[in-house]
Amino acid sequence: MSMLERARALDAADPLAEYRERFDLPEGVIYLDGNSLGALPKTTPDRLAQVMREEWGRDLIKSWNTADWISLPQRVGGKIAPLIGAQPHEVIVADSVSVNLFKLMSAALAMQARKDGARRKVILSEPGNFPTDLYMIQGLEKQGLATQRLAERDAIIDALDDDVALLLLTHVHYKTGAKYDMAALTKAAHDAGALVLWDLSHTGGAMPVALNECVAGEEGADFAVGCGYKYLNGGPGAPAYAFVAERHHEALEQPLSGWMGHAQPFAFDDDYQPAPGVDRLLCGTAPILSVAALEEGVDLVAEIGVDRLWEKSQALSEFFRECLSDAGVTLDLVSPEEADQRGSQLSFRHENAYALCQALIARDVIGDFRAPDILRLGFAPAYLRFEDMAETAQALAEVLENGEWQRDEFSERAAVT
């Protein structure tokens, strides 16, 4: 049986196969970039048409009450919560990942300062973390409020000394897909007196996470942020989410104290009084059109279920590796060998990764390139087929064999890749 035949048999037996029809995907395209921008749920355009024509157009300002726009950030946050092992009131949709990082890093520093008089100012992360995570630490550093410390993965636990206020890590690495042991790192941070903030951008919606229960019998994660436009399929630049463990709600204090995070926004008081719990993470008015689109994506992922998605994700990537092997392709895998040690992607190092990626795109196999030399293939399990794996491996084999990627047209880099 050829790999393509095997793939078709796997698709026929796949309990998630039916969900592909719930996305509006272009004909003939194999989309391996759902970890950068998730696909369009079929319900989203109708939902937004309704929000625009009925809620905004007909009911205008009244929709803040009648369509409950005012609770949309909490409602969608509450739906994301079970996907990441949180309670509904611990998660809220707001702003972007970057802005939420700033809020939660600031909150962590303030909490630590109340304990020790601002001795702990270090935010510890790893070099090569997703850039915005580091840039937001550097923003606080410019303000004189934090010190960035970077340690390689295997040196992080040793770097957790008495100066570390917060450990900020991205659970699944955007480039390599390597996954941290959330339990071990969370426990190590806590044992060292540090708080921990997990960036779940490449995690949420692709696999289950147990923020609250990650350390058996002990306190779980303190904070988390995550992206709405990858595995949650919320659309380009979809708003992000933020998690704060309930035990920190009362002490939570963050400097982006806008009116929507006030206890009574419509009292129009001159003095800021924080709203209860995670509501105080709201700053300005939420972009309702974008949050409504996110809700459609989240509902669909919740319906499929993250446990099933994760199971299929691992099966897809392992099958893809078999297909590569069968096609005689040997590539330098930078993702972990073991499926449960990585996220929903496989990344390969190749000195011509950019051109390789472009040559695949020309064949309607859409992966992406991550500078300087990584070809990244994402396996969004909600809408990909085993057949896509077999065909991608075949395409990659042909592109490599016939030197197609060496064409001039694939050498020039576009603005965004």
Verify binding: residue 259, its own copies, rule CB under 8 A. Answer: yes
Cβ contacts of residue 416 below 8 Å, gap of 6+? none
Nearer to its own copies, 43 or 87 (CB): 43
* 389 phi/psi in degrees, rounded to 5: -65, -45
Verify binding: residue 56, its own copies, rule CB under 8 A. Answer: yes
Verify binding: residue 43, its own copies, rule CB under 8 A. Answer: no
The one among 29, 155, 184, 263 contacting its own copies by CB under 8 A? 29
The one among 154, 158, 268, 330 contacting its own copies by CB under 8 A? 268
| Cα maximum dimension of the chain | 73
Residue 153: alpha-carbon gap to chain centroid: 20
Residue ranges in 5-24 that form contacts with its own copies under rule CB under 8 A? 24
Buried-exposed string 164-198: b where 16+ CB fall within 10 A, e elsewhere:
bbbbbbbbbbbbbbbbbebbebbbbbbebbbbbbb
Question: What minimum distance in Å lies between the beta carbon of 325 and its own copies?
Answer: 28
Query: Considering CB under 8 A, how many residues would be counted as binding its own copies?
Result: 99
Tokens 């109708």 map to which residue?
Answer: 46
Distance CA 251, CA 171 (A): 25
Distance CA 372, CA 116 (A): 42
The one among 16, 36, 209, 396 contacting its own copies by CB under 8 A? 36
* 311 phi/psi in degrees, rounded to 5: -60, -45
Quick check: 120 and 165 in contact, CB under 8 A? yes
The one among 8, 20, 59, 311 contacting its own copies by CB under 8 A? 59
Binding range to its own copies, per CB under 8 A, among 82-90, 209-217, 288-296, 314-322: 288-296
Quick check: 249 and 277 in contact, CB under 8 A? yes
Verify binding: residue 98, its own copies, rule CB under 8 A. Answer: yes
Binding range to its own copies, per CB under 8 A, among 36-44, 155-163, 324-332, 388-396: 36-44
* 203 phi/psi in degrees, rounded to 5: -120, -55
Quick check: 228 and 93 in contact, CB under 8 A? yes
Verify binding: residue 256, its own copies, rule CB under 8 A. Answer: yes
Nearer to its own copies, 372 or 403 (CB): 372
How far apart, in Å, do the first and last CA atoms of the chain sit? 36
Verify binding: residue 263, its own copies, rule CB under 8 A. Answer: no
Residue ranges in 210-239 that form contacts with its own copies under rule CB under 8 A? 229, 235-239
Best CA proximity match to 117, nearest among 166, 188, 186, 165: 165
Cβ contacts of residue 284 below 8 Å, gap of 6+? 258, 259, 260
Nearer to its own copies, 59 or 398 (CB): 59
Verify binding: residue 61, its own copies, rule CB under 8 A. Answer: yes
The one among 121, 248, 262, 376 contacting its own copies by CB under 8 A? 262
Residue ranges in 169-208 that form contacts with its own copies under rule CB under 8 A? 175
Quick check: 350 and 285 in contact, CB under 8 A? no
Verify binding: residue 275, its own copies, rule CB under 8 A. Answer: no
Residue ranges in 100-139 that form contacts with its own copies under rule CB under 8 A? 102, 106, 110, 127-132, 134-136, 138-139
The one among 160, 291, 316, 400 contacting its own copies by CB under 8 A? 291
AA identity, residue 362: A
Verify binding: residue 356, its own copies, rule CB under 8 A. Answer: no
Residue 328, Ramachandran bin (φ over 0: left; ψ between -120 and 50: alpha; else beta): left
Binding range to its own copies, per CB under 8 A, among 75-83, 143-151, 207-215, 333-341: 143-151
Nearer to its own copies, 93 or 207 (CB): 93
Verify binding: residue 416, its own copies, rule CB under 8 A. Answer: yes
Binding range to its own copies, per CB under 8 A, among 3-11, 54-62, 312-320, 388-396: 54-62
Verify binding: residue 293, its own copies, rule CB under 8 A. Answer: yes
Residue ranges in 62-91 that form contacts with its own copies under rule CB under 8 A? 62-65, 69-70
Binding range to its own copies, per CB under 8 A, among 14-22, 75-83, 140-148, 213-221: 140-148
Distance CA 410, CA 139 (A): 36
CA count, 13 A, side-chain hemisphere, 155 = 9
Distance CA 300, CA 65 (A): 25
Query: Residues with catalytic annotation?
Result: 130, 199, 229-230, 376
The one among 4, 17, 48, 302 contacting its own copies by CB under 8 A? 48
Quick check: 232 and 294 in contact, CB under 8 A? yes
Verify binding: residue 366, its own copies, rule CB under 8 A. Answer: yes
